[in-house]
Amino acid sequence: MKEILLLKEGEIALKGQNRSSFEDLLIKNAKRRLRALGPFSYFKAQSTIYVTPEDDGIDMDEAFEVAGRVFGVAAYCRACVVEKDYGAICEAAREYLAPALRAVKTFKVEAKRSDKSFPMRSPEICRELGGFLLESFPHLRVDVQNPDVVVIAEIRERGAYLHAGQLPGAGGIPVGSSGRAGLLISGGIDSPVAGYMMAKRGLELSAIHFESPPYTSERAREKVMALLQKLVPYCGRIKCYVVPFTKIQEEIRKNCPEDLFTIIMRRYMMRLSDRIAKEGGLSALVTGESLGQVASQTMLAMACTGAVTDLPIFRPVIGMDKNEIVAIARKIDTFETSILPYEDCCTVFTPRHPRTRPKLEMVEQAEQALQGGALVEEAFAATETVWIREL
Ligand code: ATP
Ligand code: MG
Handedness of CA 8, 9, 10, 16 (dihedral sign): negative
Nearest protein CA to atom 12 of ligand 1, as residue: 289
Which atom of ligand 1 is nearest to 286's Cα?
Answer: 20
Residue 261 marked ligand-binding: no
Superfamily of domain 179-388: HUPs (3.40.50.620)
DSSP string, 90-120: HHHHHHHTHHHHHT-SEEEEEEEE--TTSSS
pLDDT in tens, the chain (391 residues): 899 999 999 877 777 778 888 999 999 999 999 999 999 999 998 889 999 999 999 999 999 999 999 999 999 999 999 999 999 999 999 999 999 999 999 999 999 999 999 999 999 999 999 999 999 999 999 999 999 999 999 998 889 999 998 899 999 999 999 999 999 999 999 999 999 999 999 999 999 999 999 999 999 999 999 999 999 999 999 999 999 999 999 999 999 999 999 999 999 999 999 999 999 999 999 999 999 888 888 999 999 999 999 999 999 999 999 999 999 999 999 999 999 987 777 777 788 888 888 899 999 999 999 999 999 999 999 999 999 999 8
Spatial CA neighbour of 235 closest among 187, 189, 271, 286: 286
Distance CA 69, CA 7 (A): 11
Residue 319 marked ligand-binding: no
Residue 297 marked ligand-binding: yes
Please identify, in words, the CATH class of the domain defined by 2-168: alpha beta
- CATH 3.30.2130.30 residue ranges in the chain? 2-168
- CATH 3.40.50.620 residue ranges in the chain? 179-388
Distance CA 226, CA 183 (A): 15
What value, to the nearest 5°, has the Cα angle with vertex 76 and ends 71 and 79?
145
Residue to mutate, 183, 185, 191, 241, ligand 1, most ligand atoms under 8 Å from C-beta: 191
Residue 69 marked ligand-binding: no
pLDDT the model gives residue 247: 96
Radius of gyration of the chain (CA): 26
What value, to the nearest 5°, has the Cα angle with vertex 240 and ends 237 and 243?
180
Which atom of ligand 1 is nearest to 290's Cα?
Answer: 6
Distance CA 110, CA 123 (A): 8
Number of the ligand closest to the Cα of 240:
1
DSSP character for 152? E
Number of the ligand closest to the Cα of 184:
1
User: How many Å lie between the centroid of ligand 1 and the Cα of residue 176?
Assistant: 24
| Side-chain-facing half-sphere of 361: CA atoms under 13 Å | 0
Residue to mutate, 189, 190, 231, ligand 1, most ligand atoms under 8 Å from C-beta: 190
Q: Which residues line ligand 1 (CB under 6 A)?
A: 184-186, 188-191, 208-210, 269, 287-289, 293-294, 296-297, 344-346
Distance CA 290, CA 287 (A): 9
Spatial CA neighbour of 154 closest among 50, 13, 290: 50
pLDDT the model gives residue 111: 95
| Cis status, amide bond into 147, omega within 30 of 0 | no
Q: Tell me the whole-structure pTM to 2 decimals.
A: 0.93
For 191, residues 6+ apart whose C-beta sits below 8 A from its C-beta are 183, 184, 185, 287, 288
User: How many Å lie between the centroid of ligand 2 and the Cα of residue 297?
Assistant: 11
Which atom of ligand 1 is nearest to 184's Cα?
Answer: 30
pLDDT the model gives residue 213: 94
User: Measured between alpha carbons, how far apart are the two ends of the chain, in Å?
Assistant: 28
